[in-house]
């Protein structure tokens, strides 16, 4: 018997690690409910519990969900299954690498082997390189080489009848209920793999033609809503690309470029693990960032959606209510935090990590660095989003803002907490200071 270590690939379709495990014979399956999950918001834990519940149903109840460090859980499951080999998808984030190294050591100590096949990407990080063997620093040439490299066709679906059961010690219903209590959902996102695949086909067949023209409009329902299943691995990007590749339109290519950005950020973090916390290109002197009680009060107003800038506030309230924020609004809220409030990008990235239902580590950290002007191929720091101009351009009828700010046009809505023109000049002055050569 073999063991499949379920990680960020919680699906039966197009799952190379699971298929390889089944090719070796009857297969057991285990997921480690690690202590790190309790750093997530209740919303994220509740959704994960439902995704695991659905996958457990699809495996005939065979998937074991066990509490503990991954090394302990997977070694014990391999022992019980008498599995000489454990198959898993390789992770490339710093924490994912540490975790799989620990599992590998634990299995090796018992004479067992951890083998990897596949990753959460269409092309695994580290494979798309320049002709001199170095990684790309700029997105556009990366995306061009990424397309030229190409990716495999989606793999088949695993056989639900080939699983052998292991016991669980995590009550998924209880975890979902506790998560809802800690962070109540406005509405639940779909957690069944079959429905996720149906939603993908529906988007490509019906909504993709509008994507290019409407993707920046938070007041319109024109995005794919696939970021959540991609984050939990219910959907592989290769499956998405196989469908969009059949559509010969500019909208399809633009949608694929968003997947390419996800892959680029995964590649950057793979080559530069420190980028999860450190700016790849520092642009400001460290003493220029706001600190102290006033900075904390500003951060709290931003987090609560009480800045007096309606698009920023609507986005932060949408995030608090649903765990989701439209991508255009994410850029505006991030720019406001860094360039109007003068707070370091890491502080905003940490809040998004705790709050986003579709959290992806590489994508989150490097998107924040993009807005802050510190990442690879980032927007220059002097590009400062004007939140009022952005609101007028992308929410022209105010529908998005009125939905999330009921008191928008009443005396109960706060006045702007700052003068954007003034704070923009402050940010640019800090940038000029940061570019000066150091003395001595």
Residues 258 and 301 in one domain: no
pLDDT of residue 288: 84
pLDDT of residue 238: 97
Domain count, the chain: 3
CATH of the domain at 415: 1.10.579.10
Q: From residue 348, how far is each of 344, 351, 355 by CA, in Å?
A: 7, 5, 11
pLDDT of residue 434: 66
Kindly state whether residue 171 falls inside one of the protein's structural domains. no
Residues 68 and 198 in one domain: no
Binding residues: 211, 223-227, 255, 358-360
Residues 108 and 129 in one domain: no
Query: In terms of residue numbers, what domain contains 418?
Result: 286-435
CATH of the domain at 200: 1.25.40.80
d(CA 142, CA 201): 28
d(CA 311, CA 329): 7
pLDDT per residue as tens, the chain (440 positions) = 999 999 999 999 999 999 999 998 899 999 999 999 988 989 999 999 999 999 999 999 999 999 999 999 999 999 999 999 999 999 999 999 999 999 999 999 999 999 999 999 999 999 999 999 999 999 999 999 999 999 999 999 999 999 999 999 999 988 888 888 777 766 667 799 999 999 999 999 999 999 999 999 999 988 999 999 999 999 999 999 999 999 989 999 999 999 999 999 999 999 999 999 999 988 877 788 999 999 999 999 999 999 999 999 999 999 999 999 999 999 999 999 999 999 999 999 999 999 999 999 999 999 999 999 888 876 677 789 999 999 999 999 999 999 999 999 999 999 999 999 999 999 999 888 765 433 33
* Cα Rg, the chain, nearest whole Å: 23
Residues 132 and 249 in one domain: yes
Residues 266 and 339 in one domain: no
d(CA 379, CA 387): 16
Q: From residue 101, how far is each of 16, 91, 104, 203, 295 by CA, in Å?
A: 20, 10, 5, 38, 39
pLDDT of residue 107: 98
Residues 140 and 109 in one domain: no
pTM: 0.94
Binding residues for FAD: 211, 223-227, 255, 358-360
CA angle 150, 153, 157 (to 5 degrees): 150
Residues 233 and 131 in one domain: yes
pLDDT of residue 183: 76
pLDDT of residue 440: 32
CATH of the domain at 86: 3.40.50.620
Kindly state whether residue 129 falls inside one of the protein's structural domains. yes
d(CA 26, CA 230): 27
CA angle 284, 95, 299 (to 5 degrees): 40
pLDDT of residue 147: 97
pLDDT of residue 169: 94
């Amino acid at each position: 018997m073999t063991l499949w270590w379920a990680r960020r690939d919680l699906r039966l379709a197009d799952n190379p690690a699971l298929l390889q495990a089944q090719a070796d014979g009857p297969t057991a399956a285990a997921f480690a409910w690690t202590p790190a999950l309790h750093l997530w918001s209740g919303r994220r834990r509740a959704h994960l519990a439902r995704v695991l519940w659905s996958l457990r149903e699809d495996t005939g109840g065979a998937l074991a969900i066990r509490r503990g460090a991954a090394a302990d859980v997977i070694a014990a499951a391999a022992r019980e299954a008498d599995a000489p080999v454990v198959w898993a998808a390789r992770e490339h984030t710093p924490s994912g690498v540490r975790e799989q190294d620990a599992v590998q050591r634990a299995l090796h100590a018992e004479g067992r082997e951890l083998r990897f096949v596949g990753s959460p990407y269409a092309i695994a990080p580290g494979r798309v390189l320049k002709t001199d063997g170095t990684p790309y620093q700029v997105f556009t040439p990366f995306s061009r080489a990424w397309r030229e490299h190409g990716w495999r066709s989606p793999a088949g679906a695993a056989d639900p009848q080939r699983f052998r059961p292991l016991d669980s010690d995590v009550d998924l219903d209880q975890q979902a209920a506790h998560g809802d209590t800690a962070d109540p959902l406005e509405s639940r996102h779909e957690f069944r793999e079959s429905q996720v695949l149906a939603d993908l086909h529906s988007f490509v067949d019906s909504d993709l033609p509008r994507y290019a023209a409407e993707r920046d409009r938070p007041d319109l329902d024109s995005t794919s809503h696939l970021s959540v299943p991609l984050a939990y691995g219910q959907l592989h990007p290769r499956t998405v690309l196989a469908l969009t590749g059949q559509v010969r339109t500019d909208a399809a290519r633009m949608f694929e470029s968003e997947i390419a950005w996800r892959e680029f950020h995964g590649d950057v973090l793979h080559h530069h693990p420190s980028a999860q916390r450190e700016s790849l290109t520092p642009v400001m002197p460290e003493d220029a960032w706001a600190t102290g009680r006033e900075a904390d009060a500003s951060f709290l107003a931003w987090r609560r959606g009480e800045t007096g800038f309606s698009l920023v506030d609507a986005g932060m309230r949408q995030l608090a209510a649903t765990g989701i924020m439209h991508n255009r609004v994410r850029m505006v809220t991030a720019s406001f935090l860094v360039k109007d409030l003068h707070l370091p990008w890491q502080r905003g990235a940490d809040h998004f990590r705790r709050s986003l239902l579709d959290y992806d580590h590489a994508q989150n950290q490097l998107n924040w660095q993009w807005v802050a002007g510190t990442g690879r191929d980032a927007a220059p720091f002097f590009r400062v989003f004007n939140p009022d101009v952005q609101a007028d351009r992308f929410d022209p009828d105010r529908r998005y803002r009125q939905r999330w700010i009921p008191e928008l046009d009443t005396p109960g809505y706060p006045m702007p907490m700052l003068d954007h023109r003034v704070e923009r000049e402050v940010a640019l002055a800090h940038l000029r200071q940061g570019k000066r050569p150091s003395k001595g």
